[in-house]
Amino acid sequence: MQDNTVIIEPGPAGSRLNFAPRFNAAGVFIDRHSAEGRAEKIAIRTVAEDVTYAELADRVARCGNALLGLGIPRGGRLLMVILDGPAFFYVFWGAIKAGIVPVPINTLLRAADYAYMIDDSLCSGVIYSPELAAEVEPAIGLANHHPSVVLRTEGEGRSLRTLMGEAAPVLETVPARSDDDCYWLYSSGSTGRPKGAVHAHRDLALTSQHYSVETLGATADDVFYSAAKLFFSYGLGNAMSFPLWTGGTTVLIPGRPTPEGTFAAIERFRPTLFFGVPTLFARQNAEIPGRRPDLSSIRYCVSAGEALPAHILETWRRLTGIEILDAIGSTEAGHMYISNRPGDVTPGSSGRPVPGYDLKVVDDDGAELPPGSAGRLFLRGESIAKYYWHNPKPTVVDGWFDTGDIYRQNADGTFAYSGRDGDMLKVGGIWCSPIEIESALIEHPDVLEAAVVGREDADGLIKPEAWIVPRESGRTIPIGIEADLVSHCKARLAPYKYPRWVYLVPDLPKTATGKIQRFVLRQNPPVLPASGIGRAAVGIQPVK
């Protein structure tokens, strides 16, 4: 079997991937395309430039040589604080080809956060976009660990761009095994400090085959556009590994995604697959009637990051005629492990297991629960991270990864999300899912977003507390909407599930992946009337 190749054996429960004894992921994601006739095909599209597969391979090799010339050792970690664009590809794949371990980092963080990751990773180098210098450069001084290489991707003076221009255009792929360390991703921090999940060379191939090909049916004809960014697992798959695996084309847009910006990108670049998060789809729903964007190029949308409320899906489908395939994945799994799929969409559920993954719902003692019972979701699959860096907690126990999510399996085989383990509420002695209450709240015409957490009442008992982002529809939010929302929930939910407190805020704290940070809400009670019904005077900011 030739080096850096994969043999795919189709099977009834998903393909089995057999990797060559010597396998470096850069071989199949970068080096093979010219030999397969795609040298002149566009691999990357941006507002500023297009990059062909041949140009991508040339620049990846130059970047790898430049990194080695800087003295970054094989096996050394390279922090990437890089906005979505071609340079991200050059650094990520150039590092892997050279035997260096790339570590993409959230581009929305602050200096203290970057200093933490520099110290935690003990990285050999940091490469960053010049637009992010105001946070990255102070972090170098704050960190206790001092990486030997600190470099901008471009700009005046020495930069990665100038070094690549001087580097050789040929680089032999460093030999590796499919289970060797390849890249890291830090967890999103939805429950606290991010952890470095260490992934192997095989993981990008496994997630690309099982999800993009076997679940979405993606091909070389697809154009991928992800509002979710490259620095975390959802965007890394959508916008990089999936198009490179299939031989398709990716669209890269830096900056925060907005309804106006994403609609403009869709109309200009005509993607066939669009990847978003529930918050974005909700905001797009509010804008579509007035703007009427041309979304006709899209055959499917995908949503992840948070569970997609059925109301948002149904509104989107009514307005556009396009399905949203809700799914769930994780940094540790590399991408999706449960998903709705074309022709098989169940609103309000995460769908069915993605090929290549086994799931079970268990109780606190680890015993498997029957359909209809909520419990902790355990996952088994080959793409799960090998371990957490600097963290004694194992990723996998007895062959199963504890996702930390609470799920129930429906009678039809689909899985319904109930929340994170720490988010579940016990109200009146009965377990209650915040997702169910949030879904009811979002059905109200004046609600754009909702988050529900538990709060102790005067008697020390846990009750639901709702945080609401009102829908902006060009009119004043009605006086008394808070009490109306309580009545709205009472009419739709079991009596004990209605929120005892309702607060209006301009935005909800979220991770960069779009996940609501409910632990921030639990830690930040606002100063409001004693009744709990009122409008918060200040917004609650995410914990970085």
Question: Which tokens sit at 537?
Answer: 């005077």
Residue 540 above 50 pLDDT?
Answer: no
Residue 534 above 60 pLDDT?
Answer: no
SS3 of residue 469 by DSSP: strand
Average pLDDT over residues 428-434: 68
Mean pLDDT of the chain: 89
Q: Hey, what's the torsion of the CAs at 293, 295, 296, 298, to 10 degrees? A: 180
User: Is the same domain home to 446 and 354?
Assistant: no
The answer to whether the CB of 100 falls within 8 A of the CB of 108 is no
Residue 122 CA: distances (Å) to CA of 78, 99, 126, 145: 9, 17, 11, 6
The CATH number of residue 239's host domain is 3.40.50.12780
In a domain, 543, yes or no: no
Domain boundary (369, 402, 422) is at 422
User: Is the same domain home to 380 and 448?
Assistant: no
User: Is the same domain home to 170 and 244?
Assistant: no
Q: Between 394 and 232, whose confidence is greater?
A: 232
Residue 364 CA: distances (Å) to CA of 319, 326, 361, 376, 400: 42, 27, 10, 8, 15
What range does the domain containing 447 cover?
424-535
User: pLDDT (tens digit, 9 = 90+) per residue, 161-216?
Assistant: 999 999 999 999 999 999 999 999 998 655 557 889 999 999 999 999 999 999 99
User: Is the same domain home to 388 and 255?
Assistant: yes
Which residue is it, tokens 């988050």?
451
Confidence at residue 531, expressed as pLDDT on a 0 to 100 scale: 40
Domain boundary (363, 392, 422) is at 422
In a domain, 461, yes or no: yes
Average pLDDT over residues 404-431: 80
Residue 505: which of 461, 458, 542, 455 has the closest Cα?
A: 542
Domain boundary (176, 208, 234) is at 176
pLDDT level of residue 426 (50, 70, 90 thresholds): low
Residue 381 CA: distances (Å) to CA of 4, 148, 202, 237, 338: 22, 37, 12, 17, 12
Say how many domains are in the chain: 3
The CATH number of residue 88's host domain is 3.40.50.980
Can you give the C-alpha Rg of the chain in angstroms? 23
SS3 of residue 487 by DSSP: helix
Q: State the Cα–Cα distance between residues 398 and 414, nearest whole angstrom.
A: 25
Residue 452 CA: distances (Å) to CA of 57, 238, 438: 47, 29, 6
User: Is the same domain home to 429 and 349?
Assistant: no
Residue 541 above 70 pLDDT?
Answer: no
In degrees rounded to 5, what are phi and psi of residue 485?
Answer: -65, -35
Range with the poorest average pLDDT among 82-86, 123-127, 365-369: 365-369
In a domain, 201, yes or no: no
**Residues constituting the chain:** 544
What is the widest separation between alpha-carbon atoms in the chain? 71
Confidence at residue 436, expressed as pLDDT on a 0 to 100 scale: 83
User: Is the same domain home to 402 and 454?
Assistant: no
Whether the full predicted model's pTM is greater than 0.85, yes or no, is: no
Residue 539 above 60 pLDDT?
Answer: no
CB neighbours of residue 434 within 10 Å = 26
pLDDT level of residue 477 (50, 70, 90 thresholds): low
Range with the poorest average pLDDT among 46-60, 210-224, 261-275, 422-436: 422-436
Residue 15 above 60 pLDDT?
Answer: yes
Question: Which tokens sit at 210?
Answer: 């099982």
Question: Which tokens sit at 4?
Answer: 């850096």
CB neighbours of residue 89 within 10 Å = 26
Residue 74: which of 176, 160, 189 has the closest Cα?
A: 176
Residue 427 above 80 pLDDT?
Answer: no
User: Is the same domain home to 247 and 388?
Assistant: yes
Confidence at residue 232, expressed as pLDDT on a 0 to 100 scale: 87
pLDDT level of residue 119 (50, 70, 90 thresholds): very high
Q: Which spans in 292-355 are helix H?
A: 310-320
